[in-house]
Amino acid sequence: MSTETFFASCPRGLEAVLAREVAALGAADVNSVDGGVQFAGALTLGYAVNLHSRVASRVLWRVGEAQYRGDQEIYAAALKLDWPRWFNVERSLRVNVTAIKAPVKSLDFVTLRVKDAICDRFRAHRASAGKRPSIDTQTPDVRVHAFLSAQTVTFYLDTSGEPLFKRGYRREAGEAPLRENLAAGMLALSGWTPVMPLLDPMCGSGTILCEAVMIAANRAPGVNRAFGFEKLAHFNAAAWLKLKADAQALEKISIQSNIYGSDLRGDALALARANLAALGYPTAVTLKQANVFEMPAPAAAGIIVTNPPYGVRLEDRDQLAAFYPKLGDALKQKYSGWTAYILSADMQLAKKIGLAASRRTPLFNGALECRLFEYQLVAGSMRRSKPAVPASSND
């Protein structure tokens, strides 16, 4: 069995979590870089990472690398690779090019040249009888990624297809839903395990709750979806079916969870309910319509993981400036004994919560730079970062 090299991408800030996931699946040479993790193993390890990783965005299989100085050398490097060995000419194709500090004028032009090289290679291949793959930028069968650094071009076949945050359970997306792999990453960073009570008091469409239920049920996140590797020539269907069957055998049919979710809006809760039902665990979470400022804690201690509303427009920001101090007060008064993990993109708003964060982890929600703030809400040990009254009379 040959050893292949992979790059799994993830939301920035979750590289260490992803490195632990791939190492636990048996990967060798695990190396975290900005935005992902490189690792090595059999081709079927790529299947396993697609199936089991909760935080990866894509798993790319490295198929070639070359030094280059310009567009023409990138074309030549792509032409050299034996594409017909990896996929059939009848498969539709999309090429993506990304770059850091690459000495090229246009990434669109490089994309075109890589696509030309792949098609030219197919045309020259005897078994393709002069045919070339068709291009489909929306729902391609095969995605080729080329990554350019200053001097090196690396070619990858995408083994994931649709990005991995698409688990296949989301029926409805609410206002500003989190990506599923970011929600799972927040849970991983919180250290929550299914024996602990968990609350998302601003749950929206319930992404954090759904990811927590999947963890509690031992559901492999990719068990109900298709993957890019199924359309590649080397697809080992028997190995894939076995991996899936093994994962399904470990899944719990019903779970006794102490997972709680609430939201101010009834329509948001309806979305969360629909998503939990689509997941197959309609009653695993205790859902309640409630205002976070008024809701009593559902247990004596536990973990809060949440992403409160955030403002893009100016008027939203004014409203939120009032929201955060009230949230801080509610946490302080009603949740002593709990630890809260709050994702926020706005460092100024986060300061207004008036609690001292014990940890701030940089995390990216797409291109939006955020922090996951940790607040240990231990009675008597909380303090305001800028006390409104003398600390001694308040703490």
Ligand X SMILES: C[S@@+](CC[C@H](N)C(=O)[O-])C[C@H]1O[C@@H](n2cnc3c(N)ncnc32)[C@H](O)[C@@H]1O
Shortest separation between residue 330's beta carbon and ligand X, angstroms: 9
- Binding-site ranges for ligand X (CB under 6 A): 174-178, 201-205, 207-208, 263-265, 268, 291-293, 307-309
Query: Can you name the residues that pair with 38 across neighbouring β-strands?
Result: 7, 31
Helix axes 180-190, 207-216, angle to 10 degrees: 60
- How far apart CA 119 and CA 192 sit, in angstroms, is 49
Task: For the CB of residue 230, give the shortest distance to ligand X in the complex, in Å.
Answer: 28
Q: Would you say 177 or 197 has its CB closer to ligand X?
A: 177
DSSP letters along 223-292, please? Answer: TTS--GGGGSTT--HHHHHHHHHHHHHT--SS----EEEEES-HHHHHHHHHHHHHHT-TTSEEEEE--T
Closest distance of CB 202 from ligand X, Å: 3
**Gap between the Cα atoms of 211 and 197, Å rounded:** 14
Is 257 or 344 the residue whose CB approaches ligand X more closely? 344
Buried b (16+ CB within 10 A) or exposed e, 115-137: bebbbebbeebeebeeebbeeee
Which one, of 93, 127, 112, 80, lies nearest residue 231 by Cα?
Answer: 93
Nearer to ligand X, 202 or 216 (CB): 202
DSSP H stretches of helix in 3-161: 15-24, 43-52, 71-80, 83-86, 107-124
Q: CB nearer to ligand X: give 33 or 176.
A: 176
> Minimum Å distance from CB 71 to ligand X?
41
What is the closest distance, in whole angstroms, from the C-beta atom of residue 267 to ligand X in the complex?
9
Q: How far is the CB of 356 from ligand X (least distance, A)?
A: 22
CB closer to ligand X out of 201 and 298: 201
Cβ proximity to ligand X, 89 vs 184, nearer residue = 184
- Choice between 255 and 327, CB closer to ligand X: 327
- Whichever of 84 and 201 has its CB closer to ligand X, that residue is 201
- Closest listed residue to residue 78, CA positions, set 102, 113, 127, 106: 113
Query: Least distance to ligand X from the beta carbon of 288, Å?
Result: 10
Q: Which amino acid is at 82?
A: D
Query: In angstroms, what is the minimal distance from the CB of 82 to ligand X?
Result: 43
CB 156, CB 165: distance < 8 Å = no
Q: What is the largest CA-CA distance in the chain?
A: 84
